[in-house]
Amino acid sequence: MGFSSGGGRSGLSEINVTPLVDVMLVLLIIFMVTAPLMQQGVKVDLPDARAQPIEAKEEKKLVLSAKSDQSIYIGEAQVTLADLEEKLRNNPKAQADKEIYLHADRSLPYGFVVELMAAIQRAGIPSMGMITDPLQRPEQPPKPGARK
């Protein structure tokens, strides 16, 4: 019937592919579920913030401002992007605090803001905060039956 006539060892000549197929199907399902999540389909408005305001400390922190025309100010002194890193390295307040607040206009290109952040980091300032306007909640009409 199914006996071998030789005295040699006979092994299975086929590889069992069922476990391989099972693993591949599981991987396929995982990739099908996670692939849509990897695409960024949510539009964000970066300047809006839903965070609690930072409590003001007695001492003022250094503020780096960037206007819509891409002009840059340390405090009230205007600087260029090329000179920003050097000015921050030589600023005693920035080097003492190791913290700066970035006040950037909403209409600035994202790449320009990233360049500012990189210059701040290269200047040896590891801590940076972004200044935003708090969200304004729209007024809700009074509920029916509510008294004023």
Is 36 within the bounds of a domain?
no
Banded model confidence at residue 28, pLDDT cuts 50, 70, 90 = very high
Structural domain includes residue 4: no
Could you tell me if residue 8 is inside a domain? no
pTM, whole model, 2 decimals? 0.53
User: Which of 61-70, 73-82, 117-126, 136-145 shows the lowest mean pLDDT across its residues?
Assistant: 136-145
Kindly state whether residue 58 falls inside one of the protein's structural domains. no
Start-to-end CA distance of the chain, whole Å, equals 96
**Would 47 be classed as within a structural domain?**
no
Q: Which residues pair with 78 in a beta bridge?
A: 73
Q: Cβ(86)–Cβ(125) under 8 Å?
A: no
pLDDT of residue 38: 58
| DSSP output for 7-28 | SS-----S---HHHHHHHHHHH
| Number of domains present in the structure of the chain | 1
The CATH number covering residue 102 comes to 3.30.420
29 belongs to a structural domain: no
- Report CA torsion sign: 24, 30, 33, 36: negative
pLDDT of residue 121: 92
| Residue at 27 is within a domain | no
pLDDT tens per residue, range 88-106: 998 888 888 888 888 888 8
Residue 54 lies in a domain: no
**What strands lie across the sheet with 62-66, from one edge to the other?**
77-79, 72-74, 62-66, 99-104, 127-130
* Alpha-carbon span 93 to 95, nearest angstrom: 5
Per the structure, the complete domain to which residue 100 belongs is given by: 67-130
